[in-house]
Amino acid sequence: MSETKELLAKVSGASTDNEYFLPLPKGYQKGKTRYVIVTGTVMSGLGKGIFSSCLAKLLQDKGLKVEPIKMEGYLNIDSGTLNPFRHGEVFVLDDGMECDMDLGTYERMLDKNLSRANFTTSGQIYRAVLDKERHGDYLGRDVQMIPHVTGEVKMKLRTLAMQSKADVVFVEIGGTVGDLENAFYIEAMRELAYEEGPNSCCFVALTYILEPNALGEQKSKAAQLGIKQLMQMGIQPDIIACRAENPVTVQARQKMSVFGNIPFERVFSMHDSASIYSIPAMLRDCGLDFEVIRMLRIEDRVNLRRERREWERWCDFTDKIGNEKRDITIAITGKYTSVRDSYASILHALEHSGIHLGCKVRIKWIDTSDLTDATAAEALKEVDGIIVPGGFGTRGMEGKIACIRYARMNNLPYLGLCLGFQAAVIEFARNVCGLEGANSTEIDQNCANPVIDILPEQKKIEGLGGNMRLGGRDVELKKDTLAWKMFGGKETARMRFRHRYEVDPRYIPDLEKGGLVFSGKAPNQPIMQILELPGHPYFIGTQAHPELTGRPINPHPMFVGLVAAGRNYRYPGENFPDAITTIQALRKELEPNQ
């Protein structure tokens, strides 16, 4: 063992005797877990999470244990306060962590629940370092970006690797290489590769190949400069993924190969695709998955029999893409309709359901800011179903209520999510139960009938420091209801929540007397979580966010039901089975693969 390796083996934390700083979780074995590190150049938003999750899926199919982690440069502790106009939807994990929408991509592609260990921000890293400094953990050393902040990043990765027993950890660094706030992440990855040793890390640079309409050809200079900047930071990419509108030409890939010192076969064309679910096949066809396995020298961990089985299962799903025989239109009403990423999980949940049912789902975006009862009918006249999604604030609320009233009175399939659940309660209270002035105290603090409110006794029951219910909770289902049948006749269902307001229990008897059924509630608590309207083809709302747990291979039944009901609404003469029969048939079809 060299002198350097001996020193690294001895140093496990802060020391005043030398300059090595190697914080390791107790029991961690260097070199056991490998790392795939994905960075971006040229611009953000190109699909680092999509590439990383697709590659991770291919390795997972081979029997390898994979764990993703997204590292964001912003100083927020989590994504909970970020405006959807600026950052897209907030994705909530089962443990309540509010995080980046890329975590949703990982959960869907890997078909697994993630936790707060799979997400971090600069704010989290800095807070952890400063907490340690206050506790004297650095033995009087001046605390610096290097080695202490970079050391905290490596500690985060190694802790995830050890606790998950992962063969490969996929590290996605948000933004681009040139972002100032990401510099310490890049440096930490350079240090990680040095400390873990040869064949421990695979670096992927995702870049963008320009194709100006005025020129009519692809230009790679911006991509070359981005790769050069990464190399100046001490990192030699092993793979370059080239995003482009059209397939990247051989000449452009050759240039990237030469200027990036990368074998040509490791320069991948990640051009626009009809569905992100076809990208694993693109990666597999060019052998990029086995290139990574060979680079990391983990060939002995591959289970080819499992790979064949899993790939066949995946292809059963992707072969249906583009072969839909019917099409329907679902309206999504909200105030973030100009930014599609605000509703990314809803769009994916509809896509999954439509693919399985052979039905192309088209979206009509409806801004409810100025919608009224008089104009709602015109806005909804060509749609086959409606979703009122979650949201906060007053703008557009009355327009959403108008849409719900139209759906209820005209047998238009309806799915209410979070705020859509609350709006359905308000609409029913006003127009069926005759509760004049019914509203939410979020909208009108002085309303005559606050059917939706923040209840102090519920907060006391929850025992939470704040007033937001976050993460996965069990929902108790009422027997023989639509929800009970939808979830296979189970007593409870696991769903994810992100909300502050509840149905006031004082109004539940009046609402139920009017005909509204609360088919799901919190166990042992008067917190209503699912509602439905008997006699309506499909009218259901939930205080939860079922879109967060929809998966390609296992679509969420609430969305399957909406698409099935929308298909029946659009094609009434074709005698399609009703929503519940469709859900049950699909569950039976998919069960052998679960």
Q: Which two tokens stand for residue 208?
A: 């963008």
CA distance 419 to 164: 35
Class in CATH terms, 25-317: alpha beta
Q: Which two tokens stand for residue 116?
A: 């707060």
Cα angle 395-550-95, degrees, rounded to a multiple of 5 = 80
pLDDT value of residue 465? 41
DSSP state string for 171-236? EEE-S-TT-GGGHHHHHHHHHHHHHH-TTSEEEEEEEE-B--TTTTS-B-HHHHHHHHHHHHTT--
Q: Which two tokens stand for residue 179?
A: 């972002």
Cis peptide before 147 (omega within 30 of 0): yes
pLDDT value of residue 9? 52
Residue 399 backbone phi and psi in degrees, to 5: -65, -40
Is 418 catalytic? The answer is yes
CA distance 225 to 571: 54
Helix (H/G/I), strand (E/B), else coil: 372 = coil
Residue ranges of the alpha helices (H) in 326-418? 344-356, 373-380, 397-409
CB neighbours of residue 469 within 10 Å: 23
Residue 54 backbone phi and psi in degrees, to 5: -70, -40
Instruction: For the chain, give every residue range classified as CATH 3.40.50.880.
Output: 326-593
Is 312 catalytic? The answer is no
pLDDT value of residue 222? 92
Name the catalytic one among 148, 356, 545, 556: 545
Name the catalytic one among 418, 427, 536, 556: 418
Residue type, 408: R
pLDDT in tens, the chain (594 residues): 566 555 545 555 555 566 677 888 998 998 899 999 999 998 888 889 999 999 999 999 999 999 999 999 999 998 888 876 667 789 999 999 999 889 999 999 999 999 999 999 999 999 999 999 999 888 878 899 999 999 999 999 999 999 999 999 999 999 889 889 899 999 999 999 999 999 999 999 999 999 988 888 899 999 999 999 999 999 999 999 999 999 999 999 999 999 999 999 999 999 998 889 999 999 999 999 999 999 999 999 999 999 999 999 999 999 999 888 999 999 999 766 555 678 899 999 999 999 999 999 999 999 888 888 889 999 999 999 999 998 777 778 999 999 999 999 999 999 999 999 999 999 999 999 999 999 999 899 899 999 999 866 555 655 444 567 889 999 999 999 999 999 999 999 999 999 889 999 999 999 999 999 999 999 988 899 999 999 999 999 999 999 999 999 999 999 999 999 999 999 998 889 989 999 999 888 887 655
> Under CATH, domain 326-593 is a member of which superfamily?
Class I glutamine amidotransferase (GATase) domain (3.40.50.880)
Residue 441 backbone phi and psi in degrees, to 5: -70, -15
Closest Cα to residue 244, out of 215, 268, 225?
A: 268
Instruction: For the chain, give every residue range classified as CATH 3.40.50.300.
Output: 25-317
Is 271 catalytic? The answer is no
